[in-house]
Structure 1
Amino acid sequence: MEGNQSSLGEFILLGVSDRPQLELLLFVLILIFYVMTLLGNTTIIVVSWLDPCLHTPMYFFLSNLSFLDLCFTTSLGPQMLVNFRSARKSIPWAGCMAQLYISLSLGSTECLLLAIMAYDRYVAVCQPLRYTAIMSRRFCLQMMVTAWLSGFGNGLVKIVLILRLPWCGRNQINHFFCEVPALLKLACTDTSTNMAELLASAVFLLLLPLGLILVSYGYIGTAVLRMRSAEGRRKAFNTCTSHLAVVSLLYGTAIYMYLLPSSQDQGKFVSLFYTMVTPMLNPLIYTLRNKEVHGALRRVLGRNPTSQGT
């Protein structure tokens, strides 16, 4: 096995190498998405950390989401940008395995985090008087650590199964980056164990959290409709629709990629959506109509002497 892997040396990422004009367009788009992702998510992390008014469970989870998105896109984006402008679109074997493990682990963690955020909103809307007691700092940290450990544990299981596969010299991946379904097509052995594990993890990390999210928002919707305060309904509606928009973007594209049959070309373009577009949109979705973040941003910028003098 070791000899097979070391002799392989590298993988060739085909992407859209047969369409140079499309490569240039994708390079420009992904560069824009990546820069906006860095700016937007870094802003959320810094503002949530600096402003005491945002030291709440909701913004603790949102900061973790932003950090996950930053790491996730950085594990994939720079390599794609380099390959789009290179004649030889290769990635070292070890680099491919590292990219695969990091992106899988972070993506899995994010799926669980979105379910945790839905529970946080359920407690805030449906049990407001008990919110502080239930969503204690210790409980939030325990849920977050559980999500991170589960996500990286899932990535470890997948990477161990991938490492056991023989490649027989086949090294051309029809994708923009190292992705499990595309890699499994190169193995020259039965991959039924990998496919079974992939399906099981997709159920655990996609369908189960999505079901919990939908149940949570079913209760939230009922509670919002019973609110007498129009302002309370508006605030709850704005927060919850933002979260549901993120859920729809991430889970919809991930389910299409991992649970629904699709052609390789369709799959690799869909994967661009959940790896580059969704992390860019998350900061906009969560802050566009969020007066708390707007106020915190003004307060943080107001501490700058230059800003105060204008």
Structure 2
Amino acid sequence: RSFGDILHRMKDLCRYISNFDSDAHAKYKNQVVYSTMLVFFKNAFQYVSNIQPSLFQGPNAPNQAPLVLLEDVTNIYGDTDIDRNKHIHKKRKLAEGREKTMSSDDEDPSGKARSRHITVNKADLANSIEVLESFKLARESWELLYSLESLDKEFTRICLSWKTDTWLWLRIFLTDMIIYQGQYKKAISSLHHLAALQGSHSPQQITGQGSLENQRALIQLATCHFALGEYRQTCEKVLDLMCYILLPIQEGGKIQEEQPKVKSKFRKGSDLKLWPCTSRAIMPYCLHLLLACFKVS
């Protein structure tokens, strides 16, 4: 039986669990919790082990760049120009409209109904379909575990006993899930927790020149502040990040050609992308972020 089948079966069981007597309720509650936990932890681990493999590999492992989940600002602002001759209040209205589109903190506290599209280059992640499916299953499992009070209490009790709040890999997944839901204020709190966990771990070996995996929290903080319309904080985080970026060396003096921009078929502000956590990829992203801040401020 696949993990998707298990999760589907547990969702069906949850529809009727409140109709059972106390003994049957306790029995099926435990079945739902433990089965859904299996799906959750397995798929969350599968997701994180693919986007940041260095957490689980030895020093002689293949050199694969980690990936970080960010708002795709190239789709949001890449084909938009603001007329500088317009009145300032019109600009503010435009900025407010975009902020409303991008952030769901005030609109949907649960974030469950928010469906977003995640893109990733095949060259950066060969098994991208499987990894994104793992992210989806883990996210849906988490939502199911918090859908009923009885499930919530049992799952929370187990997590406390296991001290899951100290698991760095799990915090990476939870942060990405919160960003996916568009809960940027919560994501910022989670990112501060993530930064503290990264600081408590021994410094990891950098996987290749210009790797920024230890600055994952800083990169995502910048994009979260941007999504909330907090452009000053966005610029501050980007400038802090620049201290860790190494200028990529062009081979043979050739300048890397910019890839043609493909207009998104999805609603602006809804796209996310897994970016390589390297200077070569993050520097252009930061420049897009700064330009977007200047356009709407």
TM-score (norm 1): 0.28
TM-score (norm 2): 0.29
Name the structure where helix makes up a greater proportion of residues.
1
